[in-house]
Structure 1
Amino acid sequence: MKTLERLVLAHLRPLVSSFMDPLQFAYQPDIGVDDAVIIYLLHTSLTHLEKAGSTVRIMFFDFSSAFNTIQPRLLGDKLQLASWGGSSPHYMDFGLPHSQTTVYGDDREYRGLIQDFADWCLRNNLQINAGKTKELVVDFRRRIATLRLHRLDWSDNTNALVKKGNSRLFLLRRLRSFGVQGPLLRTFYDSVVASAIFYGIVCWASSITDRDRRRMDRLVRRASSVLGCPLDSVEVVGNGRMMAKLSSLLNNTSHPLQDTLTALGSSFSERLLHPRCVKERYRRSFLPAAVRLHNKQNAR
């Protein structure tokens, strides 16, 4: 089925690409989860939170068996309209809207937009799974400081990655005990262990605390001792992948952050202007950190 999807996609994408929503991330070349949820969503939220007294509310929607409940007639009508150039690009994800909405403004505007979304789902025979639909409110105003129960950092993410990494290191040790060595053992590490512990690293590499970084590095050193060869630290892997992602963004003219990156370009050199950062949480996020690395490498 994966092979068939790729074959169909190669023919389908050119037909619908001109009608795609600019924030369509699925089935797009060189764009993935990192770009959608973590880089774009975090960048948009953190830049807004740079303003004093600002808040962010994000709604993550989940549908109950979306592709099983949507009516083929509705999907056919949308694709037919698209072929005539009359369809709204917002619905070009095979008839499904975006899974998350970020709204800045007063409460009435926010609730009105949510109600419009719920009405749209009803008209298109889509049922929202209330149990898995979540709302995230980010508010750093002093008057609600006493209500804050969780820190907005990457500690929970680090805990999950370390736990997953330890469980997969056990499999690596077992393979070595069975006599598996050399390139085959390294391939297993890259595909099973490293893919888990470095998941989304372009988003959190510059933002985690020194304590969490040391925990991740200990995990890498244990893997290195099992393999019997040196492995790059979390910082080295993170910097390399951030630079690769930044290069990809600069070369992808259809990426939602392209306008932001274009505004940072310098007309006199290959350097990028550093984004204006007021709060530490934005200064340590992906885009400012990647720009610092980019300029540092160009200065050498």
Structure 2
Amino acid sequence: VIGLISDNDESAYREEVQHLAVWCADNNLALNTKKTKELIVDFRKKTGTHIPIHINGTEVERVASFKFLGVDISEDLSWTLNTSSLVKKAHQRPFFLRRLKKAHLSPQILENFYRCTIESILTNCISVWYGSCSVADCKSVQRVVKTAQHITGSSLPTVDAVQSKRCLRRAHNIEKDSSHPSHRLFALLPSGRRYRVLRSRTSRFRNSFIPAAVTLLNSALHTDVCGGTHLPQ
């Protein structure tokens, strides 16, 4: 359950939580309050007091970070915890890559192993978090790639390249799917040469997926124009 609290009015958010609890009870589902967590993201200079959420009379624990679908989300929306977790997990894989190299397997097999067991970890949901990572976090992720590249002896794609490719692919899929909730955010300008850029007052929003994807799409359109290909209508 995600709730946007405006003007310190939490009533809609709390009602939604209660509706969920009632729906679960009506459908013979039991909410485990001990496993339910509350994460508050608040960037105001003066933060108010947040009353704890209660489900069936039990207080829900408030946490500073939470792992959701394999991604560590922090209350300050920084990604240091997430990247350090991914890097730590990926660091366990080069050992097996070295063993395969000692067995004299071909560079192609080594590269396939890297993509399946190392790159898949480093780039998990990368379109969500990589754009807002700090320089230090980006370098720590790229160091794992350089280590694997040294072992395989092959030229491996950088994390930046993988992120750009996946953002573009996701953006194209959303742009083609009129039923997607974010479809309207990818709108071409009347000229048909560029997509409308979303206004962003903070770097946090500017580096998030939608604005970053629009920028990538515009760059791709510029390349298409230079190359003489047709623009989408």
| TM-score, normalised with respect to structure 1 | 0.62
Partner SS state of residue 163, structure 2: helix
Task: Give the aligned partner of residue 270 of structure 1.
Answer: 193
Task: Give the aligned partner of residue 130 of structure 1.
Answer: 33
Task: Give the aligned partner of residue 46 of structure 2.
Answer: 143
CA distance in 1: counterparts of 2:142 and 2:18, whole angstroms: 46
**Which runs of 5 or more residues in structure 2 are unaligned?**
51-63, 65-74, 224-233
Displacement after TM superposition at 1:177 (Å) = 2.1
- 1:184-203 residue pairs with structure 2 within 5 A? 184-203=109-128
Q: Residues 41 and 76 of structure 2 are in contact (CA less than 8 Å); yes or no, is this contact kept in structure 1?
A: no
Identity of aligned residues (%): 33
Q: Residues 107 and 154 of structure 2 are in contact (CA less than 8 Å); yes or no, is this contact kept in structure 1?
A: no
Structure 1 position 116 matched with structure 2 position 19 = yes
CA distance in 2: counterparts of 1:113 and 1:200, whole angstroms: 27
CA distance in 1: counterparts of 2:104 and 2:17, whole angstroms: 57
Q: Residues 168 and 217 of structure 2 are in contact (CA less than 8 Å); yes or no, is this contact kept in structure 1?
A: yes
CA distance in 2: counterparts of 1:141 and 1:245, whole angstroms: 32
The AA in structure 2 aligned to 1:250 is E
The AA in structure 2 aligned to 1:160 is S
Q: Which has the higher helix share?
A: 1
**Which runs of 5 or more residues in structure 1 are unaligned?**
1-99
Displacement after TM superposition at 1:279 (Å) = 1.4
Displacement after TM superposition at 1:221 (Å) = 0.6
Displacement after TM superposition at 1:127 (Å) = 0.7
Task: Give the aligned partner of residue 175 of structure 1.
Answer: 100
- 1:257-296 residue pairs with structure 2 within 5 A? 257-261=182-186, 264-296=187-219
Task: Give the aligned partner of residue 204 of structure 1.
Answer: 129
Task: Give the aligned partner of residue 84 of structure 1.
Answer: none
C-alpha spacing 1:152/1:122, structure 2 compared with 1 (3 Å): same
The AA in structure 2 aligned to 1:277 is S
Task: Give the aligned partner of residue 61 of structure 1.
Answer: none
Task: Give the aligned partner of residue 3 of structure 2.
Answer: 102
CA RMSD in angstroms comes to 1.9
CA distance in 2: counterparts of 1:257 and 1:275, whole angstroms: 12
Q: Residues 90 and 118 of structure 2 are in contact (CA less than 8 Å); yes or no, is this contact kept in structure 1?
A: yes
| TM-score, normalised with respect to structure 2 | 0.78
Q: Which has the higher contact order (CA 8 A, sep 6+)?
A: 1
1:186-239 deviation line (CA, Å, top 9, x unaligned): 211111111111111111221111111111111101000111111111111111
C-alpha spacing 1:248/1:278, structure 2 compared with 1 (3 Å): same
1:274-298 deviation line (CA, Å, top 9, x unaligned): 1010111101111111111111222
